[in-house]
Amino acid sequence: MPWDRNDMAARAAKELQDGYYVNLGIGIPTLVANNIPAGMTVTLQSENGMLGIGPFPYDDEVDPDLINAGKQTISELPQSSYFDSAQSFAMIRGGHIDLAVLGGMEVSENGDLANWMVPGKMIKGMGGAMDLVAGVKKIIVVMEHTSKSGDAKFIPACTLPLTGKNVVDMIITDLAVFHRPDHDSPFKLIELAPGLTRDEVRQKTSAQYVE
């Protein structure tokens, strides 16, 4: 049985370590915040200028000056700090963030990521995604294994415009987990969703990987 959105987020949460500073993208990556192991200190960064994202606020505590990068209202924690956008991306670009979890449209077998535009459709922009993949120490992409039309999304070479070249360290799909220890190595299939076989994953993947 394939993993659902929460399962995928929970799997990504297993990569967290005590003391990590982490940036979570919009969508499934945001759910990783609900899966931080008890007793572990993980500080979430919001690229619009905050460290220490708290939970959504109570209705009577909503503050228009306090939002996350998805423009949702949030709350602060006793250890939170605020800073400007240049400072925020200095910590991202400068390699101070330990882990980023992002969504993806396509990942290539050499670790290229495409997740910001589809030619012919309205371009909304890359936001902070290109900065995150260029600067954060470890990049996990969480995405459905295949597109709605059944096409593989982990493929030999990206067909969509890239967000970053040779930047992905781990891919978590609804079917499997792929990982590589460094950016010169191929991805390795390291985990299967319950009931899935290596053959089924192979059939739905056009990228080369090791098993």
Partner 1 sequence: MQKIYPNAEGALDGLLRDGMTLAAGGFGLCGIPERLIDAVVASGVKDLTIASNNAGIDNEGLGKLLRTRQVAKMISSYVGENKEFERQFLAGELEVEFCPQGTLAERMRAGGAGIPGFYTKTGVGTQVAEGKEVKAFDGEDYILERGIRADLSLIKGWKADESGNLMFRKTARNFNQPAATCGRICVAEVEEIVPVGSLDPDCIHLPSIYVNRLILGAPYDKKIEFRTVREREAA
Q: Residues interacting with partner 1, by CB under 8 A?
A: 46-50, 55-59, 62-68, 70-74, 76, 82-86, 88-90, 92-93, 112, 122-131, 134-135, 161-166
The length of the chain in residues reads: 211
* Catalytic hit among 15, 47, 106, 109: 47
Distance of closest approach, residue 202 Cβ to partner 1, in angstroms:
28
What DSSP element (H or E) covers 44? strand 43-46
β-bridge partners, 70:
none
Which of 6, 47, 51 has the alpha carbon at shortest distance from 28? 6
Three-state DSSP class for residue 142: strand
Nearer to partner 1, 37 or 95 (CB): 95
Answer positive or negative: Cα dihedral of 21, 107, 145, 189.
negative
φ, ψ (nearest 5 deg) of residue 97: -90, 130
- What does the alpha-carbon distance between residue 66 and residue 57 come to, in Å, rounded to a whole number? 10
Amino acid at 67: I
Beta bridge partners of 142: 103, 172
Contact 3, 193 (CB under 8 A): yes
47 catalytic? Reply is yes
Distance, CA of 59 to CA of 5 (rounded, Å): 26
Give dist(CA 200, CA 192) in Å, integer: 10
Closest approach of partner 1 to the CB of residue 6, in Å: 17
Which residues are identified as catalytic? 47
